[in-house]
């Protein structure tokens, strides 16, 4: 899914379900380092409207671990996405 090589100074981001539909892609590379608290704003600049329509309800993971975007976990607020970290945007899928 992710392109083979991550260019220096970037991190791969994976989009699932509604996030993939909105961005029209399943993965891309963004510039690192990026504070976690800036992630949604960065994406909303790139894809206007995505924050309110998709991101606000999404789970976010960094290197396959769930991170808190509600601002409750102090450690997550200080987290900075580093070069090569794998970030995933996971919207709730409700159908079945």
Partner 1 sequence: MAAVSVIELLRQQISTCEAQLASLRQQLAEAEHLHRQQQQGLQLKRMEEQTRHNTASTSLVHDMSYGIHDDFRSEIFAALSHPEEENVPPRRWPLENSEYKRYGRQLIMPEIGLQGQLRLKQASVLIVGVGGLGCPAAAYLVGAGVGTVGLIDGDVVEESNLHRQILHSTARVGMTKVDSAIVALSSLNPNVNLVAHPARLTPESSLSIMQDYDLVLDCTDNPASRYLISDTCVLLGKPLVSASALRTEGQLMVLNNPPLPPGGANGGPCYRCIFPKPPAFETVVSCGEGGILGPVVGTMGVLQALETIKVLSRGVKGLAANGTTSPEPPTLTMFSAYGSPMFRTIRLRGRRQTCASCGAKATVTPEALKSGSLDYALFCGSVAPVDALTANERISVDNYAKIRTEANPFTGSQPSNDSHILIDVREGVQFDLCSLEGSVNIPFSEISRTPLKPMREDVAGNHDATPEEGWVAALRSHPEKPIFVICRLGNDSQLTVKKMKALGLDNGGKRWIGDIKGGLRAWRENVDQDFPDY
- Does residue 12 interact with partner 1 by CB under 8 A? no
Q: Which of 6, 44, 61, 83 is the binder for partner 1 (CB under 8 A)? A: 61
Q: What is d(CA 6, CA 33) in angstroms, rounded to the nearest whole number? A: 13
Applying CB under 8 A, the span of 33-41, 54-62, 77-85 interacting with partner 1 comes to: 54-62
Q: Which of 1, 5, 8, 74 is the binder for partner 1 (CB under 8 A)? A: 1
| Bridge partner list, 88 | 14, 61
Applying CB under 8 A, the span of 32-40, 58-66, 77-85 interacting with partner 1 comes to: 58-66
Q: Please give the DSSP secondary-structure letter assigned to residue 92.
A: P
| Bridge partner list, 12 | 29
Residue with tokens 């079945």: 96
């Amino acid at each position: 899914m992710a392109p083979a090589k991550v260019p220096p100074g970037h991190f791969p981001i994976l989009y699932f379900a509604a996030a993939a539909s909105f961005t029209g892609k399943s993965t891309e590379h963004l510039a690192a380092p990026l504070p976690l608290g800036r992630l949604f704003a960065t994406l909303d600049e790139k894809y206007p409207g995505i924050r309110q329509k998709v991101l606000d309800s999404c789970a976010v993971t960094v290197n396959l671990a769930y991170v808190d975007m509600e601002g409750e976990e102090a450690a997550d607020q200080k987290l900075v996405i580093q070069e090569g970290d794998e970030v995933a945007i996971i919207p709730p899928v409700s159908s079945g």
